[in-house]
Structure 1
Amino acid sequence: MEKNLAAISAQNDSRLDLPLPDQRIHANSTPSPLRSWLSVVAVAIGAFAFVTTEFLPVGLLPQIARDLGVSPGTAGLMVTTPGVIAAISAPALMLGAGRINRRLILLALSVLLLASNLVSAMAPGFGTMLLGRALLGAALGGFWTLALATSARLVQEQHAAKATAMILTGVTFATVIGVPLGTFISTMASWRASFIATGVLAAVALAAQALLLPSLPSKAAIRLSDLRALLSRANTRKSLLMVALVFGAHFSAYTYVTPFLVQSAGFNLPAITSVLLGFGFVGFVSNFVISTTVSRNLQLSLFAVVAILMVSLLALPSLHASQAGVVVMILAWGVAFGAIPLCLSIWLQMSSPDLPEAGSALFVSIVQVAIAVGSSTGGVVVDSLGIPSTLWLGGALALAGLVVISSFGFNHKKLGEILSQ
């Protein structure tokens, strides 16, 4: 897989947002310089801060809903709102950015992340809370588009896949440490203190990027025609549908996992913190394992983890009376989702080898649409049919995702060829 990505990167030197020849990081066959990897770490810290902030309300939903006087389903808008805004901002920011240095854009987005956390922490009512979450969404779409599109620019070409995987470990670290820590802080102090803590994390990410990120000049601006060119490909459209279904499956259920654990399974808040910590830890291990094996068969790996996701979601409602059974299924769910972002990210890179930045923008936009629609639909289902129903909804969406994955056939050697058509 790394060789494939390296070939893709080399092929695209004359295209979007890739460094000019004299700006490329020079090296021979030795590992990339330490500073190059430190710049990747800086982006990974940003990913950690963004994902922790994005999903912090998942562990705080009951407390925020109670204090701000809204129902749990309505409180789910704290996840839906940034998803909607990010879906718009991902392509819009890249179209409007022109040839602005990508380093400056990443720094500006980190400032916006810090502002989002401060507004949310001080929110006197739910409307102000949604304003803070909207600021997050405005920054989120652009950050992920640039993080995924520029990861290969920070290191040598042959290390592109490792750089992407390292940045995506920010996602798993957020679920391992960030979200559970936010829940723990809320039990010790308040949910407002949790947002202040994520504000501090955002400040650390901003400082790391200011110190470590190199200049990332843009050679050419992304154009509407680039987006249209990708969307004109049947397999790219099918791939985006698959992404939407899989992420929608996860977030229609994960947004309401804390209310499920409290109301249906009888867990207290300290126990929920431990469960979410376990979810994140196994997800981190899963991401590490899949990064070493995904090159052998990307499609089979993706099919397997989505199948585990489906089984976990469908089994949880029937196991609610057994806390041990619930924990096992939550951990299996964590294993599945720990591997899914990397698998889907590489899948979309293979779908758009000639238009990497446009591909990243569409990928991020579809993911955020899936998060927004999944969490909002889950909220409607929770308020009208009860919490277990949103788990069944997630399981059904995962099943639909498996159908789409299967529709590509299982010829590993020709997968990249098929996807780029």
Structure 2
Amino acid sequence: QALCALPAEPGAASAFVAADYDQLVDAPIFAGSPLVQSFVESGKEVLVVTEGADARWPQAQALQDVQRLVRTQRHLWGELPFARYIFFNLLVEGYGGLEHRDCAVLMASGWAARSRKDYLEWLGLVSHEFFHLWNIKRLRPVELGPFNYEAENPTPSLWIAEGFTAYYDDLLVHRAGLCSREEYLGRLGRAIERLHQSPGRLVQPLAEASFDAWIKFYRRDENSDNATVNYYLKGSVVAFLLDAKIRLLTGGRQSLDEVMRLALQRFAHGYTQSAFTALCDQVAGASLAPFFHCCVDTATEVDLGEALAYYGLGFGGGDAAAAAPAGSLGIVPRLDGGRLWVAEVRRGGAAWEAGLQPDDELLGIDAWRIAPTRFVERLRSFAPGSRLSLLVARRERLARLPVTLGADSQAFANLSFVPQPSAAQRQARDGWLGALPASP
């Protein structure tokens, strides 16, 4: 069986027609014997084509959940701009996705549905790629189409195309009624925590990270986290802050949702970064130039305070408040060939200050040799501020490095609602998080 989002050639079961080369390369063809399920939403057919479905995969539940996501996104954008759409759901031992004009290719483990965390991750992937149906395939930076297939197509606006999509993916899983508010806040909080664990956020501006994706984001090395910022990650946090700011400035009457809908209407031939931010100004009814200067054009630390206060959110509590912080070297370790190596040294961390380098082999702490598989565990038994001697091998030469441990950052752990919100905060939360729209 051959499946493709292109229209079929009349009278031919497995022949498809592309109007031009752009359509051809944007329409993957699946050939095999998959599980094919479908539903109709607002008069449009949606197929879920699953390769590798077996007893581990909840076929009926997954189909129902995908339909709820499709309905929720249609409610946000206003219409479904296709005659037929296909989710190619490949249950392989990998993870990722790629959007196309009228379909998306998803990769996830067949075990994903056996874990609540992994299943929410899969729903977020479905949501992310389907959101691209509008945000990037029909609403795009001007540099991203028509494509020049013989050269790079850099744009400073990937923080909108990908970062805003990364903000909405989990948010719309929640609005679809597929996860609780607490589960959603957990995922949002982890994104904020990951951003603040990235030293490169204070080095590379977000617009530059977007523009340099061709030469940096997809060509990572041992210093990438120190010198660059992830435009998916920071873009999603900036979208969260921008959404809150617009809601605050307009008394909850407008939001980033309205920006996206208007942008879809106005930028049929693509947008520049300045045109998009000007539209944000219009919807907010105020100049947001200082916000974008801080969050997009410079590598200044983003200010979370306004958004947290508006919604009545805070960090801490639960296990994060009860647990004492563990000592930290500030490295990313790599276990390879039964030996433990330093893969990355984080700027400003204990290892950075001690002179540890990528590709150093970690052998022992003080007078003890530590098994490679237990090194991280043993290190965490020391409190922040502990002074240790690390035994390392650098290009086969043994050396001892004195180090003073830092602390695992817990400043952004456990995002949660404050226990006694004001009426205004409760109203702001409801406007932001919404609820599943009624079936048509």
TM-score (norm 1): 0.25
* Structure having the larger proportion of residues in strand: 2
The structure showing larger relative contact order (alpha-carbon pairs under 8 Å, at least 6 residues apart) is: 1
* Structure having the larger proportion of residues in helix: 1
